[in-house]
């Protein structure tokens, strides 16, 4: 990947998505080896490093970050109906220790990808991310039969979707993106 795409300035590497059972020591050790390889080819594009417990133990990372490399960020994942203030508190702790955070997966429903949207908590999360200048990505641009899928089966694979092609999650995601980019 680095050999093929590292020359482009818009590339972001995510090297370990959602470590589940691994300790931070294991994730850190693995990540350092992958970072060394990437940096040998691509010296400056951003590398996202996962945190244990599905990218929610950012507070543990904050106490023992990877040192000696530039342009590293650590991931946090949230699903608003499951992950509440306690996870934002962990993020605040990490930010207070100078840890750069990137929300590489998020959405408004439960962590299962189903269940109702918790719009107020989702708004709390996006407001927190925006206040702290943290980039966020929402899951998932698909038409699967689950709440987190943003599209209906009628949606064209080429994009240019109208509201009639979108599920509630897609409509809300587009609204949030437009709101925080000044395009209401």
Active site residues: 18, 105
Helix residue ranges, H only, 19-167: 24-41, 52-55, 58-62, 85-96, 119-131
Task: Name which of 47, 41, 46 is nearest 15 in CA terms.
Answer: 47
CA 85 from centroid of its chain's CA atoms: 17
Backbone angles phi, psi at 8, to 5 degrees: -90, 135
Q: Which residues share a beta bridge with 46?
A: 12
């Amino acid at each position: 990947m680095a050999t093929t795409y590292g020359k482009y300035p818009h590339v972001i590497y995510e090297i370990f998505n959602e470590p589940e059972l691994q300790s931070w020591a294991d994730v850190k050790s693995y990540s350092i080896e992958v970072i060394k390889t990437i940096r040998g080819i691509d010296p400056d594009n951003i590398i996202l490093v996962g945190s244990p417990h599905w990218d929610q133990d950012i507070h543990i990372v904050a106490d023992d970050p990877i040192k000696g490399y530039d342009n590293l960020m650590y991931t946090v994942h949230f699903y608003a109906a499951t992950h509440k203030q306690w996870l934002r508190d962990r993020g605040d702790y990490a930010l207070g220790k100078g840890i750069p955070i990137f929300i590489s997966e998020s959405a408004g429903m439960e962590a299962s990808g189903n269940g109702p949207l918790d719009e107020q908590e989702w708004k709390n999360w996006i407001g927190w991310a925006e206040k702290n200048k943290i980039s966020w990505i929402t899951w998932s641009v698909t038409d699967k039969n689950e709440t987190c899928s943003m599209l209906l089966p009628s949606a064209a694979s080429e994009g240019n979707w109208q509201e009639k092609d979108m599920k509630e999650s897609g409509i809300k995601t587009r609204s949030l993106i437009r709101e925080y980019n000044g395009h209401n």
